[in-house]
Chain A
Amino acid sequence: METLNFLMQGFEVAMRPENLLMALFGAFVGTIVGMLPGLGPINGVALLLPLAFALGLPPETALILLAAVYLGCEYGGRISAILLNVPGDAAAVMTTLDGYPLARQGKAGIALSLSAVSSFIGSIIATCGVVLFAPLLAKWAVAFGPAEYFVLMIFAIACLGGMVGDKPMKTLMAALIGLALATVGVDSTTGVYRFTFGSVSLSDGIQFVIVVIGFFSVSEVLLMLEKTHNGQKAVKASGRLLFNFKEFTFTFWTMVRSAVAGFVIGTLPGAGATIASAMTYMTEKRMAGSTGKFGEGDLRGLAAPEAANNASACGSLIPMLTLGVPGSGTTAVMIGALTLYNITPGPLLFEQQPDVVWGLIASLFIGNVILLVMNIPLVGLFSRMLSVPNWVLVPAITVISMVGVYAVHSTTFDLVLMVGLGVFGYILRKLDFPLSALILGFVLGELMEDNLRRALSISAGDLNILWHSPISLGLWALTAVMLGMPGLRWWRARRAAQLANV
């Protein structure tokens, strides 16, 4: 009951005209950013974050804007996946498998509308999950002391390493680089300057906005340079534009199943939408067995990843809001946004800033409705935007990035640092290091060190405090499982290879 009251209060916040306007704007921008190949939710949020800050938006409005962009990207990613066979963002890779064949069969309209509804159902189920579970978890999370937090963050990083699969070592390295970047600047407890190399501009650390824009926008521009070629043609959405009732009932349970699974995966810290969509696609494929036409245009193969990636996007807000530990790269950026406003996400957020939390949750409902309404009739308009050539797009991204970074401190140093980090990020990406792990590490870095040192201050330097309580012991156990997973997979693959050889 209490929750319902809070939710009502949240709707009141979200329905304020300026917040509605921001949700609408965010949804629109998000869809476009998500749709453009190469640009994903992190880029969208990263581009708008400095703007929101520079505009002096109040925290709840800024968060609503960013959440709308996040959701919008998950909606938008599918458009280019279906029409171009190019995933608009990483999570839409699975959508191309069945979406593009459907478009080739002249069912682009059906595929687009059905995937919009899948996205909608996925998000709504997950948002209901957020409403139900977030307050519970927040209450429970109050029991977390600094030692437990420290272990939780180790778990989050281990999750990344364990889930991202084929390159656990590189993922962990990327997270460590992120953690190390966060140590630059004045040490908050003792006031010692660390890794500043005598530069005044580095003394309060590398600004979060610069890291995000450098690593994501600038390195993206460099990556796009290689992929620029002309003559990519989108399939025209023609024929029947809306799916019929039979197609809807055929895929309904797939959507619900995938949404629930996506939500659960999303709530795990570190595991995000990409993993959710891949896992649900595989599950549905296995469940359908030989009756499915997966890979040749099965509607279920379209519905499953779309429902799952939106559900996990919403689900990843849970660890962010309740624990202050991001569930995905994008929520890591959003945590950075909150800290810019001097709000520390965590269990107390629900008591201290109910407007922010519940306004955000309510705006998820509203944002989804806006996106659904916007996406079905406006698909033609959006798909026309796919033809914006790179020679217009790239300069625009560059200029907006520069303005975003310049707005923080107004120094040339920051701009040069951004370019430098961008080049570094580009090299890391060429070498296959996942940058989302890096950004997660960067966000967690300061929190992690603070919590470790606070814990050890409590125990007067005794390391035992780190595995003292049942919560931390449980988290250590889970961490061990996550770290063991790549090893297990490797062992199973080897055994399968041996069996095949015999």
Chain B
Amino acid sequence: MYVRLFAASWLLFCAVLAVIAWGFQAPFAYDPVGPRAYPLLLLALMAAGSLWLLLKPGLLEQRFNRRAALRATLCVLTLLAYALLFETLGFVISTALAAFALGLLFTGRPIPCAITAVLMGVLLYVLFDYLLDVPLPLGLFEAFVES
């Protein structure tokens, strides 16, 4: 069932992409193939594969579980928020918040989670930024640190 759903939406997606890909045209002919043929070939093959899966999805032992889905959604939202706030809040704060939220999602108790989260934010910042030379955004802390 879910495979069918996926195959159908993928088929649609392929069609949309094919319309977009149709517009790829080079101003000059550099080679006999051009930029359009290969993506179109792939899309055609994928569409054929989707059709196959639409007709013969095979067995899949997968049940929709409302609680699991809710937790997965929360997890995705946390990750998204983390990604979006990474630069604005800076590494230390955003990491501490995200690590705390994820810890709670993964059945940790609040206080140990909070402690590890803060430690992670600070220690990993020191590790990456100072020891390993990976530049990380400071965000809100920028005002406190003279550069």
Also in contact, A402 and B128, with CB within 8 A (given A54-B134, A192-B24, A194-B35): no
**Contact between chains at B46 and A453 (CB < 8 Å):** no
Give the secondary structure class of A's interface: helix
Interface residues on B, range: 35 or more
Q: How far is the CA of A192 from the CA of B2 in the complex (A)?
A: 36
- Chain B residue numbers with a CB within 8 Å of A407 are 134-135
Residues facing B in A184-211 (CB within 8 A) are: 187, 189-192, 194-195
Interface of B is mostly: helix
Q: How far is the CB of B141 from chain A (nearest CB, A)?
A: 16
| Interface stretch of the complex, out of A86-94, A132-140, A302-310, A455-463 | A455-463
The answer to whether A410 touches B135, judged by C-beta atoms less than 8 angstroms apart, is: yes
Specify the chain A residue showing the minimal Cβ separation from B100: A395
Asked if residues B107 and A416 are in contact (CB atoms below 8 Å), the reply is no
Measured between beta carbons, the chain A residues less than 8 angstroms from B98 are: 395, 398-399
Given the contacts A395-B103, A416-B83, A431-B60, A221 and B75 also touching, CB distance less than 8 Å: yes
Contact indicator per residue, chain B 6-35, by CB within 8 Å of chain A (1) or not (0): 100000000001001100111010111111
Q: Which chain A positions have C-beta within 8 A of B35?
A: 187, 189-190, 192, 194
Q: Which of A30-38, A164-172, A320-328, A341-349 contacts B (4 or more CB under 8 A)?
A: A164-172
* A404 nearest CB neighbor, chain B only: B134
Question: Could you tell me if A56 and B6 are in contact, using CB atoms closer than 8 angstroms?
Answer: no
> How many angstroms between the C-alpha atoms of A224 and B72 in the bound complex?
10
Q: Which single member of A172, A190, A416, A452 contacts B49 (CB below 8 Å)?
A: A172
Residue A55 at the chain B interface, CB threshold 8 Å: yes
CA distance A272 to B17 in the complex (A): 33
Contact in complex: B39, A453 (CB < 8 Å): no
What are the residues of chain B within 8 A of A432 when measuring CB–CB? 3, 58, 60
A228 to B107, CA, bound (A): 8
- Check if A461 sits within 8 Å of B32, measured CB to CB: yes
Is A394 among interface residues, defined by CB-CB distance under 8 A? yes
- Complex Cα distance A452/B76, Å? 39
Q: Is the CB of B71 within 8 A of A225?
A: yes
Size bin of chain A's contact surface: 35 or more
Does A2 count as interface, using CB distance less than 8 angstroms?
Answer: no
Answer yes or no: A464 CB below 8 A from chain B CBs. no
Instruction: For A221, list chain B residues within 8 Å (CB).
Output: 75, 79, 102
Are B79 and A422 touching (Cβ within 8 A)?
A: yes
Does A392 sit at the interface, judged by CB under 8 A?
A: yes
Residues of A contacting B21 with CB < 8 Å? 194-195
A105 contact set on B, CB distance < 8 A: none
Q: How far is the CA of A194 from the CA of B34 in the complex (A)?
A: 12
Other-chain contact of B84, A195, A396, A416 (Cβ < 8 Å): A416
Chain B residue at minimal CB-CB distance from A186 = B35
Quote the shortest CB–CB distance from A26 to chain B (angstroms): 15
B120 on interface, CB distance cutoff 8 Å? yes
| Contacting residues of chain B (54-101) with chain A, CB-CB under 8 angstroms | 56, 58, 60, 62, 68, 71-72, 75-76, 79-80, 82-84, 86-87, 91, 95, 98-100
Select from chain B the residue with minimum beta-carbon distance to A224: B106
Q: Is the CB of B82 within 8 A of A398?
A: yes
Chain A residues 217 to 252 lying within 8 A of chain B, measured CB to CB, are 218, 221-222, 224-226, 228, 230
Chain A residues whose CB sits within 8 angstroms of the CB of B2 once the complex forms = 430-431
Name 20 extra pairs, CB < 8 A, besides A222-B76, A228-B107, A395-B98.
A51-B132, A54-B133, A54-B134, A169-B53, A176-B49, A222-B72, A225-B68, A225-B106, A230-B107, A391-B102, A395-B100, A395-B103, A395-B117, A396-B99, A398-B99, A406-B137, A415-B82, A427-B6, A431-B60, A457-B32
Closest 7 CB pairs of A and B: A391-B108, A461-B32, A415-B83, A395-B99, A190-B26, A187-B35, A391-B103
